[in-house]
Amino acid sequence: MSKKARSKKAKNQLADAPAAKPTVGGKGAWRLMDRGSTIAAGILAQRVAATVWRAATGRKPPVNGRHPDVRTGEAVAWAVVGGGLAELVKVAVRRGTSTYWVKSTGHLPPGMKPLPPQTPGNVTQPTNKKEPVPTEPAPMRASAKKISRRNRGR
């Protein structure tokens, strides 16, 4: 059998074979990526917050907010700046990780559900809002007799 015939036969066998399903990444791979990105975001957040603090104040960030030599206003400002920047960096890194997962696998990460579609009219209203139950007024009594608290109509 010639090389051409063998390559034709191999192509025909490949064409007859059922198409393989695209694999969805495993739960373990997502956990590893998610936790790794969280750790990386924490380290990066500390560095970003310290850099921003140095750029804004010209000094190193306070190491210990409880130290008596650190002014209260400075400790509070560092907590606000450091905490806010840390969360922003974490959100950005974790969103980037999940976006990468979706682009590479074509599916949402394991455990993440798709968001319900929103129409322009009910963007602010939740989907599980309970409607108020209409109540009827209390029936009127035939007698105009006043009922005391102790008696209550007994």
Q: How far apart, in whole angstroms, are the C-alpha atoms of residue 34 and residue 108?
A: 13
In this predicted structure, which of 42-46, 63-67, 122-126, 145-149 has the lowest mean pLDDT?
A: 122-126
Is residue 52 in a domain? yes
Flag whether 56 is in a domain: yes
How confident is residue 9, by pLDDT bands cut at 50, 70 and 90? low
Within a domain: residue 143?
A: no
User: By residue range, what is the domain housing residue 81?
Assistant: 24-111
For residue 118, being part of any structural domain is answered with no
pLDDT, tens only, 16-28: 544 444 455 588 8
| Per-residue model confidence as pLDDT tens digits over 66-84 | 788 888 888 898 889 889 9
Q: Are 106 and 22 in contact (CB under 8 A)?
A: yes
Q: Kindly give, in sequence order, each residue whose CB lies less than 8 Å from that of residue 135, ignoring residues fewer than 6 positions away.
A: none
20/1 Cα distance (integer angstroms): 29
Model pLDDT for residues 36-63, shown as the tens digit of each residue: 999 999 999 989 989 998 998 898 888 7
Within-domain flag for 88: yes
pLDDT value at position 113? 86
Query: What domain count does the chain have?
Result: 1
The verdict on residue 116 lying in a domain is no
